[in-house]
Structure 1
Amino acid sequence: MSEKSAAQKLAIKEGQRFLLVNAPAGYQDLLADLPKDVSVVTEPSGTTDVIQCFVTSKAQLEEVLPRLKANLNRKGIFWVAYPKGTSKIKADINRDIIRGYAQTIGMEAVAIFSIDDDWACLRLKVV
């Protein structure tokens, strides 16, 4: 069985609007197989079906999560990507910090996947 693509793991569907924030260099190459008619934007405006933001600190998470949450449509998917503990990327954040903060703003963690050797991604939903 073949491994799922990044677009499949992110659950991006045909015709959706995808907001990508703070992505590392080269990340968009992993999204080369997006479904038909997906609109990729890098600045928040209006409502969005799928949001993925990359963070490396708790301060950054606290700044972007509430702001971007306001752009998520009612049944939208929100992904927070963060450096793995084994990554060489300097960070002061992990999935437990993200989960804890998300709960304080009415969100909960529901899924996780590995993007690559450096990044993991935590799916949040509004509760």
Structure 2
Amino acid sequence: MITTSQQSLLEKLQLKDEKNLLIQGLPSSIEKQFVKLSYAKNITPLLKSRKVDFALVFAINQNQLNSVLKEVLPALHEDSKLWVAYPKSTSKIVSDLNRDCSWDILCN
């Protein structure tokens, strides 16, 4: 059974009936929220099929994000959903990512 908080998170992510899910870099502190989902934890198995329907990528800094996206982007198709999660500026985790930072890799 999915709890209300899980439902709202999955609804926010617009996760519906996508089959090939990738969740990369998932922090252990929130892993339990995704326990009911069947997903790949890294892109390698999905690269062969090049069919990622839904990708949620967790990154701490720009270098990590760019590295992961170089692998993930080729596996996405036109209708895929891609989400990038990064630490808030108010968190204790030091990060050079923010909503205003350079997202050039997604535009190419």
Compute the TM-score of the two structures, normalised by the length of structure 1.
0.67
Change (3 A) 1:79 1:98: farther
Q: Identity across aligned pairs (percent)?
A: 28
Q: More strand by proportion, 1 or 2?
A: 1
Structure 2 counterpart of 1:71: 75
1 or 2 for the larger relative contact order (CA 8 Å, sep ≥6)? 2
2:100 to 85, 96, 103: 96
> CA RMSD of the aligned region, Å?
2.1
Identify unmatched segments of 5+ residues in structure 2: none
Aligned length: 99
1:20 to 10, 20, 23: 23
2:88 to 69, 84, 88: 84
* Equivalent-residue separation in structure 1 for 2:18 and 2:54 (angstroms): 11
CA contact (8 A) 1:6 1:31 kept: no
Identify unmatched segments of 5+ residues in structure 1: 106-127
Change (3 A) 1:84 1:28: same
The Cα of 1:100 is off from its aligned counterpart by: 4.1
Compute the TM-score of the two structures, normalised by the length of structure 2.
0.77
Structure 2 counterpart of 1:30: 33
Secondary structure of the corresponding residue to residue 93 of structure 2: coil
The Cα of 1:101 is off from its aligned counterpart by: 4.0
